[in-house]
Structure 1
Amino acid sequence: MNQDYYPEHHSKYNPAERCWRILEKYCNGAKLTDGQTMLGWAKSLTRKGVHPVVELSHTVCAKGVTVAKDGMQAVESRLERSRF
């Protein structure tokens, strides 16, 4: 089986999952016991000297909501893809 194949719905392709994976590595095993602790760690991340805007949302998202192709292209145009 090819190790490089992932189905299109795999978490590898989900931006939120990629961000969470980076946060987990960054925290290095620290216990994220509550929302404030988690937000503190997330706010302290930097990329090229820039901190992310981090807010806790209490909004429940409706199921089945999707982003239109042109909207997703606008988001993807700002991403820098790693060759890995």
Structure 2
Amino acid sequence: MERCWGILERHWNGALLSSVADVLRWAGTMTWRGLRPIIRETTAAYERGVRLTKTVFRPIAA
């Protein structure tokens, strides 16, 4: 996410993001390196220190 954050900020360019639905909709309409990101709302707690191996990350990396 960190790599495309700047592109996402430029994409929504000052739009009023007043709800989670607005954020998800805007994020779903952006493209990065010609691809659309996978957008999901996460309600579970994020585990710190989790790392993906290169083999696991390769299919989701562009």
Q: Relative contact order, CA 8 A, sep 6+: which one is greater?
A: 2
| Correspondence for 1:36 | 21
TM-score under structure 1 length normalisation: 0.54
Alignment coverage as a number of residue pairs:
60
Q: Secondary structure at the match of 2:10?
A: helix
Structure 2 distance, partners of 1:64, 1:74, is 16
Structure 2 distance, partners of 1:24, 1:61, is 22
CA RMSD of aligned residues (A): 2.3
Q: Which runs of 5 or more structure 1 residues have no equivalent in the other structure?
A: 1-15, 80-84
TM-score under structure 2 length normalisation: 0.68
Per-residue CA shift, 1:19-46, capped at 9, x if unaligned? 2211100111112222110100011113
Structure 2 distance, partners of 1:17, 1:76, is 17
Structure 1 distance, partners of 2:54, 2:16, is 34
Q: Which has the higher helix share?
A: 2
Per-residue CA shift, 1:21-75, capped at 9, x if unaligned? 1110011111222211010001111353x433211111212222222xxx23553
The structure that has the greater radius of gyration is 1
